[in-house]
Amino acid sequence: MDVVSLIPQFGGFLYTLTSFVVALSVIVAVHEYGHYIVGRWSGIHAEVFSLGFGPVLWSRVDRHGTRWQVALLPFGGFVKFLGDANAASGKDEEAMADAEGDEALLRRTMHGAPLWARSATVAAGPIFNFVLSTLIFAGIFMAQGTPRDTLTVGELLPIPGLVNELQEGDEVVSIAGLEVPSLEDGTSWAAFRNQIPSEQPLDYGVRRDGVEVTVSGPNLAPPYVHSVAPRSAAADIELVPGDIITAVDGEPIVAFDQLKVIVENAEGRVLLLQVWRTGQTIELALAPRRIDEPQPDGSFATKWRIGISGGLAFSPATKSVAPLDALTAGSSQVWMVVETSLSGLKHMITGAIDTCNLSGPLGIAETSGAMASQGAKSFIWFIAVLSTAVGLLNLFPIPALDGGHLVFYAYEAVVGKPPSDLAMRVLMTLGFGAILTLMVFALGNDIFC
């Protein structure tokens, strides 16, 4: 065996693992801190705040008597409150019996606190995940800005084999004789994009220094690789952002829509791509894959895809986004992730889409590494998406998850007393079994799909 040849693979594995651990640690830390801080505000004492499981690598006790620790296995975390027997907040019968005679001590336990305090503490974990996602999305929107109402040329892409007469700062009035609508009018913009001829060069009517002139430029949406989807056909052959696909099976293309049509019509047949990359032309072969894509109405459509997204021939000049508008857009993005996730789960259960759409830890880890390799912005965006998914998952009404505890509290609010200890033990066991089954199923998807 050539040991030297394994070094790049080992390095890639470490990069993927590190990216996964960083993403998961941020999300878990925020989730558990939500439980901890709201529990503290509610008068419930936290004995242990742990990032990770297993042997403790580092710990310290703060002035509130909480032991903060980092454990060896960085794949989760927990907060153990007074009166808890374990990380899943099972009741410690002995500790609770000792607290029975001390009203003040009983009030500080998780199981002796008022119903409102327990409910708020449990709900805080997922809520903090949603807040984290909203803030990340909002921060990205503020950092990148939003395109100006009038399409204005920003940074130009290098387009091979073309003399591009567009200049940064040009306000685009028309393309190929078609009037450019406001970017805020999504319907008109989509219709405009569909009418642009799949050819180049195109005539651009631009306003430059207050004067309208006509210049020659590229197709508005060239076959440019803006991003690569993890675990896709494009990722497998190492297409990278910045690549421009200039021909498919020897036929030149100049528009992303041309590529899309070819991929859909190939129906999985291997395609030979001619790719322009930083001044050099390379050839790559790939086979499109069937992908279940979410639709605007909440349904899913199965399409042939290679796993890339396109962009314009230039970056539109942007304007700043107000903090409140960014937060509104961030919360809308979180809601979109929630809706898409629930719709996907529903369609998997009904058999409308393949259950291979459910990823397990290996798939999430691979996606973490892929997004990190595309840059900090992509990786941080992925953390926000994953944080939303973790918050949503924890709200599922499964015993041992936060949602299961909230169901128990709802039962207590209606009946006037919590479920019996025996019922709780049975339900928690069933909950752990359901979670383990789901994890094994998702891991099987990672391996066999």
Question: What residues act catalytically?
Answer: 32
Q: What is the phi/psi pair of residue 2, to 5°?
A: -85, 100
DSSP-derived letter for residue 81 is: E
Residue for token digits 């204005």?
A: 152
How many CA atoms does the CB half-sphere of 117 hold within 13 Å?
18
The burial of 65, by beta-carbon neighbours within 10 Å (0-12 exposed, 13-18 middle, 19 or more buried), is given as: exposed
Q: How far apart are CA 243 and CA 127, in angstroms?
A: 39
For residues 199 and 226, give the distance between their C-alpha atoms in angstroms, rounded to a whole number.
Answer: 20
CA distances from 46 to 35, 37, 39, 121, 181 (A): 9, 9, 7, 11, 57
Q: CA-CA distance, 52 to 70, in Å (whole number)?
A: 6
Supply the DSSP symbol for 149.
S
Residue 59: strand pairing partners = 69
Q: What gap in Å lies between CA 12 and CA 104, rounded to an integer?
A: 54
Q: DSSP readout, 186-232?
A: HHHHHHHHHHS-S-SSEEEEEEETTEEEEEEE--SS-SB--EE-TTS
Residue 71: CB atoms within 10 Å: 19
Looking up tokens 């703060």 gives: 62
Residue 254 burial class via C-beta count within 10 angstroms: exposed 0-12, middle 13-18, buried 19 and up: buried
DSSP 8-state secondary structure symbol assigned to residue 124: H
